[in-house]
Each structure stands twice: as structure tokens, then as C-alpha cells.
Structure 1
Amino acid sequence: MSAGPPIAATLSRLDLKTLRLFAAICAEGTLNGAARRAAIAPSAVSKRLAELEHALGCTLLVREPRGMRLTPAGETLLHHTRRMLASAEQIALELAEHARGVRGIVRVLANLSAIVEFLPEDLQAFLAAQGGIRVDLEERPSGGVVAGVEEGLADLGICAGSTDTRTLTAYPYRADRLVLVMPESHPLSDRAAITLAETLDYDHVGLHVESSIYATLRDEARRLSRPLHLRMHVPSFDAICRMAQVGMGLGTVPEHVHALLGPSMRLAAVPLTDPWAQRLLCLVVRPGFLPPAARLLLDHLCAAGGLRSPGENAG
């Protein structure tokens, strides 16, 4: 069996111009369409593709009556090509930011609870104090936060404290408590507090299936050997509140979320007394060097949370 072309020779053919042309062929489905997009002759496109396939030692595209079809090797290359082109575009955008005076860019992944409850004020205070630093924030479920930080897609993450943080270093950030929201006319609305078990005869509305709050409710219902009557999944806390407002089911949200959204919707909030309803949000980073701008943000968020400083051993 052929060992294939040397790695160095393969990498030498993966320049951005060639990758953009390959992506254009895949997008257009024909060599002529790619040629029009790239403003070059179809023969030049065909030649570049043949040279790429020869250098890589495999067929990437197969000609068919209706156009070009990707081979398995072509699908692999297209997957990585899209990521590489997106990274190259991001590099250009961020370098342009530095040229305009930006001192640093911090990439943050955070779960929905952190974004709605605490980050708006904490980031506003940080950016006011640290002129010239930009924060790029993306929402992901807690498991996705950990995976993204591990993969280097972000400098810093915020996830539920119950999440397996794997190889990452974790610091406590903020604590919150889960409550049930419901119309003021609901039979449970006058309760001072309640357990999940006492609510399982009623319909519930839940966050998306990857959310840590939904996973907690599902797992607790299973532990109790009781069904969780979930009428629907929705993508956000405001959607949960709206569904609860019209009587579609009980919604489980952080207490701070009810404080922000509940009063205007005339929603009652009943605290859950189950131990898991008292939650911790954690900051997670990769061990080792942290860029200066990211270190400043980590220090700021730890101080804002007041639970533990980065200098202490967070385990």
C-alpha cells in the first residue's frame, strides 16, 4: 500500500487560493461555475484541481452528468477547508481591529444562564475599565462551553458547576437558585417553596435538550421514577416565561431571570428546595498561559462574583 505523499508536500498545496477555488467548485457544482466565481478560465480551474489531487494522492471530486460529486476524501477536505477559510477571515478581521487600536480580543463561550443573569453588567464594567479590549461572546450549552475552550475556540468559558470540566481549570463565578414560574392563578402559585416531586403531576415547559437545567430536571424525575410531563422544548428563558404565562406549563428558570422578566408578565415564582436547585456557575480556562487580555477578564469576573480569586487553588 502506498504511504501517500509526504506531509510537508501535502501542506504546501493547501494554500488559501487553492482552498478557496476548491470550495467554489463544491459550492457551484461545476468547473465552469467555479471559474465564473473566481474570474479565471475553466481550464485553469481544472488544472488546479488536478494538481491538488495529484499532490494529495487521492481523488476529491468525480464528474457526473449533473455536476461534480465529492468523494469521501473530498468531503474531509471540504470540512477542513471551510474551517480554515473562516479562520483566515477571522485573522484578517482581528488584525484590522488591532490596527485600529484594539489592545486585545477575548473570546468567551458562556451558557444561557450566565449571559442573561450576570454577564451584561460584569462585561459592561470590564469594558468601561479596560479601554481597547474587545470581548467576543457566544452562547453554548455548558457541555459545549467546555468542549470549545478545550479545543481552543475560546480563551474563557462559563458553564454550570455540575458540568464535567475535564482538563480545564475551573474557578467559581456566581451562585444562583432555580425557581418555578407560573401564572398567578396557578394552583401552586401561593406556595412559599416546593420540591420538583410535588410538581410532576403538572405539565412543564423546558429549555432545549442540551441545556443543563433540562438535563437536571430529566435526571431528577428519573431518580424519582416519575415521568416529567414536558409539553415542549424552547430555546430561551423568555420563551419559557411566555409559555408559562399562557398556561402551557411550569417553567424552571434562575431566580434572577424571573426578577428581570416575571413582574411584567405577572408570573409567580416558587423556589425549588431540591439541593440541585442551588447552583454554581464556573469560569473555565485551559491550564497554562492565558493571554493578558483574557487574564484581565478572568480576574475581573472572579472579583465580580466574589467567590474565589484566580490566585487560589480551584482544583
Structure 2
Amino acid sequence: MLPPNILRRLDLTTLRLFVTICEDGTLTKAARNAAIAPSAVSKRLVELEQSLGVTLLVRQARGMAVTPAGETLLHHARRMLHNAELIALELAEHAKGVRGIVRMLANLSAIVQFLPEDLRAFLARQDAIKIDLEERPSGGVVRGVEEGLADLGICAGTTPTRSLRSLLYRRDQLVLVMRPDHPLAGRPELAFRDTLDYDFVGLHAESSIYASVRNEAQSVGRPLRLRVHVPGFDAVCRMAQADMGLGVVPREVFALFGASMDLVAVPLSDSWARRELRIVTRDASLPPAASLLVAHLAQAE
């Protein structure tokens, strides 16, 4: 158990000052933001270091440098401040009559293909719950849930989920999108290795779809002729329409964007192109609102 004097020194004001100093490298901005004299900020930090028994910051010619112990505190301080903000937000929502807030991270595939209808159906039955949804690449979804930034996440099934609990959410099929006059148009399906003589449009470098495409090209010893990275599925289809190259998107995404652009879709026959999207949580003991949403999404398949 921590000594009481340590707990007293880990107050939110001191932690916020410490984080600001670490990020800015100087006491001045932290003091100005908190409307506290620099000498008072310095005194708080000295008392914090004495309470913890470690050196957190070292004065250098160009400002303050963070020690290894300071890096450890910085990591936890950011989480504590974030959680404090969430507490304030959720209590404010309860004051308005909202009985629960679910913090959720999801990759682009889930958000575009399935979540709009699934969340609409959930909220139609649970109108006292509010959902805070943020888009992240699959790896970022897992990290965010692990770090407690969200109650649950949805990521690609190929993403390592480490210690997180994982449940099936949905399945999808990747297709190649292209102009009707592309040499590969009209095929019933294609193996990815047979497409590598042509140019590609890729999603952003952190996307699980781009990682699969890049890894498959490497596994067959062929270069991927990538002409451009784009941030979203609509941009992939738009670039394919402009004859910039082939795009790889989920079948439902093509139905939403590609068909209206007079593009064609050819299914990929590779096993990795038949994907799972999975729900991840830290453990089974979720807040009631989050538990209800997980149960709803797990039945969506």
C-alpha cells in the first residue's frame, strides 16, 4: 500500500503540471497555464520527487529532461488525467439523464460496413445509452483497449490481441476494384499473385488491409507497385476510377462507393481475403452499458 503522503502528492493539479513540463520542456508554460508562479510549480515538483523518492526531471541548458522514472510517471499520469476527464464527462451526461456511456474504438472496415446499422438497432432499444466511437487502425484499437482508453474495440481478426478477450463480430470478403476497361475486369475471381504486374492504390500504411496486401506480395517475392496511399475507402475507389491502379476493399464497401463510380469488383480467391472482424475487451467485467453493447454486437453475425 502506498504511504498516504505519496497519495496526497499525486493530486491532479500536480500531475497536470508535470505532464505539461514534460511535453513543453519548461516550467514557464505549465505555470502560465495553471496561473501559478514558477517558484510554486518548482516547489510542487520537488515535494513530489521527495514523496516518491526518485528524480523525475533534470535541469539542462535547454530546459527540463525527463528521467526514466519520470517517463514511468508520465505514462501513468496521462492515463489518470484522461480517466479524470472521462469521469467528469460521464457524470455530466448522467446529470442530463443519460444512464451510460460506452467508449468504443473500431477500425475503418467495421465503421463503414456494419456499425451504422448495428449501432442504430442497439440505440433504438437502449436510448438512454450514449456511444463515444473513435476510428483507429486495428493495432491502435488493441492498444487503446489495453490502455483503458475504451471499453471495447473492433479490429481485424489477424491483429494480435495479446491478453484481451476476443469475440467474433462479423466476416467480410476483400475484392479488387478497378475500371471496367482494366485488363483484369471480367474475371470471376483472382489470386492476388496474378495481379502484381499492375499498379495499386493503397490504404494508409497502418491499415490491416494494406498490411495484408504488402505481406502477400513479399511472401511471393514480388514488389508491390504502389502508386499512392490514401486515407479511406472512398478515396481508394476514386483513385481507381481515375485509372491510378487497383484497389483492395471489402465487398460491402464496394457496394457503397465503387458501384456508383461505375467500377467493377473481382473477388480475391486467397484465404486471407476472407476476413473476420473481432470484438476485443480487457475482460468480462465491463460496465453494464458496455456489456449490453458487446452482447448485441456479438449476435450480429
- TM-score, normalization by structure 1: 0.85
Between structure 1 and structure 2, the one with the greater Rg is 1
Instruction: Give the direction of change, closer, same or farther, for the CA distance of 1:161–1:49 in structure 2 (3 Å limit).
Output: closer
The C-alpha deviation readout for 1:96-130, integer Å capped at 9, x for no partner, is: 11121111111222121111100011111111211
- TM-score, normalization by structure 2: 0.88
Aligned to 2:84: 88
Aligned to 2:153: 157
Distance 1:35 1:211 in 2: 40
Give the one of 272, 276, 286 matched to 2:272: 276
For the pair 1:238 / 2:249, whether they are aligned, the reply is: no
Task: Give the aligned CA root-mean-square deviation in angstroms.
Answer: 2.4
The C-alpha deviation readout for 1:186-229, integer Å capped at 9, x for no partner, is: 11122222211221100112222332212222232233232222
Instruction: Give the direction of change, closer, same or farther, for the CA distance of 1:69–1:146 in structure 2 (3 Å limit).
Output: closer
Give the one of 228, 233, 242 matched to 2:224: 228
Sequence identity percentage: 68
* Counterparts of residues 77-116 of structure 1 (less than 5 Å): 77-116=73-112
Aligned to 2:290: 294
Instruction: Give the direction of change, closer, same or farther, for the CA distance of 1:155–1:29 in structure 2 (3 Å limit).
Output: closer
Instruction: Give the direction of change, closer, same or farther, for the CA distance of 1:265–1:164 in structure 2 (3 Å limit).
Output: same
Distance 2:282 2:37 in 1: 47
Distance 1:164 1:29 in 2: 35
Distance 1:38 1:221 in 2: 53
Tell me, yes or no, if the aligned pair for 2:90 and 2:100 is still in contact at 8 Å.
Answer: no
* Counterparts of residues 192-211 of structure 1 (less than 5 Å): 192-211=188-207
Aligned to 1:53: 49
For the pair 1:214 / 2:218, whether they are aligned, the reply is: no
Greater displacement, 213-222 / 106-115: 213-222
Pairs aligned (count): 300
Greater displacement, 105-114 / 53-62: 53-62
Instruction: Give the letter for the 2:254 counterpart.
Output: H
Instruction: Give the direction of change, closer, same or farther, for the CA distance of 1:37–1:246 in structure 2 (3 Å limit).
Output: same
Aligned to 1:264: 260
Aligned to 1:186: 182
Instruction: Give the letter for the 1:255 counterpart.
Output: R
* Counterparts of residues 5-154 of structure 1 (less than 5 Å): 9-26=5-22, 29-64=25-60, 66-154=62-150
Structure 2: any 5+ residue segments left out of the alignment? Answer: none
Aligned to 1:175: 171
The C-alpha deviation readout for 1:45-91, integer Å capped at 9, x for no partner, is: 33222222222233333445554444444444334333322221121
